[in-house]
Structure 1
Amino acid sequence: MNLEFGRIADSLPYILEGIPITLKIVAAAALLGFSLGIILALFKITRIKLLNWIADVYTSIFRGTPLVLQLMLIYYGSPQIFGIQIEAVTAAFLSFGLNSAAYISEVIRAGILAIDKGQNEAAMALGVPYARSMWDIILPQAMKNILPALVNEFITLTKESAIVTVIGITDIMRRSYIVGGETYKFFEPILFAGLIYYIMVMVLTLLGKAIERRMRRSD
């Protein structure tokens, strides 16, 4: 094997500078996806048919089309649709967040439906409003059950963030491509980028397990 990591040694700090950009996009997208996912999940379990329909159509669109297509539509389509060019980072976290919300909504919906209906009925019998019982009683229990699935979704989001290279954001992957073009050695910088993603995923995995253990002890 003709590997020459020494030729890219001086460029490793440049690749590492892409980590904050990647984390910024992932964090913003995760927050948007989780918040919107809760709303969509509540739409899906309500008795109001219109809200059911809106949530189902939203989910079918974002789960039925490629994420890279959604990213390119938001970024390249914004000047034609809205008359302004959305910044690349904004387009990235919007597309990732909107896409993630579709998947997270299904996870949260399943978690809510797994809770014994008797708890909600007991809350209603005690005069607790539906919204309060859902927020204080049902959702906290559902979150404990779906935590592994949520962590898995955030891990997927972290790995898929590499797609932002198609719109020119200088994240980890983009910087590794640039280094490869400058040194004519592509395998080494891309392998280094893969190691960075692997470490970030492992950190998320360990963090998720730590939170899960803590939530179990609080039962």
Structure 2
Amino acid sequence: MSAPNVEHAAHPAEIGSEPGPPRPDTPALAGRRHPGRWVAGSVALAIVAAGAWSLARNPAMEWDVVAEYFLATPVLEGLWLTVWLTVAVTTTGFVAGIAVAAMRLSANPVLRAISWAYVWFFRSVPVLVQLLFWFNIGYLYPTLSLGIPGGPTLLSGSANDLISATTAALLGLTLHEAAHAGEIIRGGILAVDPGQVEAGNALGLRRSRIFRRVVLPQAMRSIVPATGNLLIGTLKGTSMVSVIAVNDLLYSVQFIYNRTYAIVPLLTVATAWYLIVTSLLSVAQYYVERHFARGARRPPPSPWHRVRAAWRSR
């Protein structure tokens, strides 16, 4: 019986160990080529470049007019009102949405029914119709009063004086925002595993502490992306308040081009400012999502981290 070949026998410590460097005669693996991707990408890039070049060279764009009115005082004042209206509507609408979500999740059937009807109504009626309704509320109630039922009146005044165009815009957009925010918050809370609440109860934690430390941080992972989209949608939705003569960004450029007849250049100014503000909000949303994603998964590197890594690798 021949002795085993000791030279090729594997040592027990080598079993399961990491493979060593490849042998010099091992052929290198070549990646699969995808010429179709390069062709499709080249065609798409050529189409985008042709469209951008056509706009840049089109004399009807009147880029000198765009540059003249881009930082004009009326435009900046309209931009400030648009940003202020967006922040005010989002803040008040989100606070009201918390109350709506709490009512939807309540064990009281009356509160659930009222909140469901509120969400159903304000999600069904278009925002423009709501704005026009609040702007013409004086037709239904010429005089608005505040007082004790059956007692003295504390405050009374004309509806047209108390509810201006800006107030009507704030009311209409906030009520619409609250309905959507309530559903976003409710969906985020329902997305949390009920076992998390049961674990908190088993540890003897109070319900308020369970909600703050267990439910809310996990619900924010679902709430933040949808809230960011709602915020951007509100920013764009404020352009509808120009219909009721609120001096926002769109109304400002409309007022200018009704006088100068430079319609396309002024609309380009408004488009550029909407793109800038929306981009800033998207960047803020990205970092807020990274913050609340900690612990659930490893967040991807931010663009700044990627730039630093590329610079160090050089």
TM-score strictly above 0.5: yes
Aligned to 1:57: 117
| Alignment check: 8 A CA contact 2:66 2:268 kept | no
* CA distance in 1: counterparts of 2:119 and 2:260, whole angstroms: 43
Aligned to 1:17, the other structure's residue is in SS state helix
* CA distance in 1: counterparts of 2:173 and 2:295, whole angstroms: 32
Aligned to 1:197: 274
| Alignment check: 8 A CA contact 2:127 2:176 kept | yes
CA RMSD of aligned residues (A): 1.9
* CA distance in 1: counterparts of 2:225 and 2:183, whole angstroms: 14
Identity of aligned residues (%): 32
- Deviations along 1:15-62, one digit per CA (max 9) or x if unpaired, are 122111011111110001111111111211222111110111000110
| Alignment check: 8 A CA contact 1:32 1:98 kept | no
Aligned to 1:76: 136
Bigger radius of gyration = 2
| Alignment check: 8 A CA contact 1:26 1:93 kept | no
| Alignment check: 8 A CA contact 1:8 1:183 kept | no
Structure 1 residue ranges without an equivalent (≥5):
none
Amino acid at match of 2:291: R
Q: Is residue 116 of structure 1 aligned with residue 193 of structure 2?
A: yes
- Deviations along 1:72-110, one digit per CA (max 9) or x if unpaired, are 111221464234221222221221111011111111111
Change (3 A) 1:195 1:28: same
Aligned to 1:170, the other structure's residue is in SS state coil
Superposition pairs of residues 1-219 of structure 1, within 5 angstroms:
1=58, 2-7=60-65, 9-12=67-70, 13=72, 14-78=74-138, 80-81=140-141, 82=144, 83-85=158-160, 86-217=163-294
Bigger share in helix: 1
Structure 2 residue ranges without an equivalent (≥5):
1-57, 145-157, 297-314
* CA distance in 2: counterparts of 1:78 and 1:31, whole angstroms: 27
* CA distance in 2: counterparts of 1:7 and 1:109, whole angstroms: 48
Amino acid at match of 2:286: K
| Alignment check: 8 A CA contact 2:253 2:270 kept | yes
Moved more, 146-155 or 127-136: 127-136
* CA distance in 2: counterparts of 1:218 and 1:87, whole angstroms: 47
* CA distance in 1: counterparts of 2:130 and 2:103, whole angstroms: 23
* CA distance in 1: counterparts of 2:67 and 2:126, whole angstroms: 35
Q: TM-score, normalised by structure 2?
A: 0.65
Amino acid at match of 1:116: D
Return the structure number with greater relative CO, CA threshold 8 A, min gap 6. 1
Aligned to 2:46: none
* CA distance in 1: counterparts of 2:249 and 2:117, whole angstroms: 34
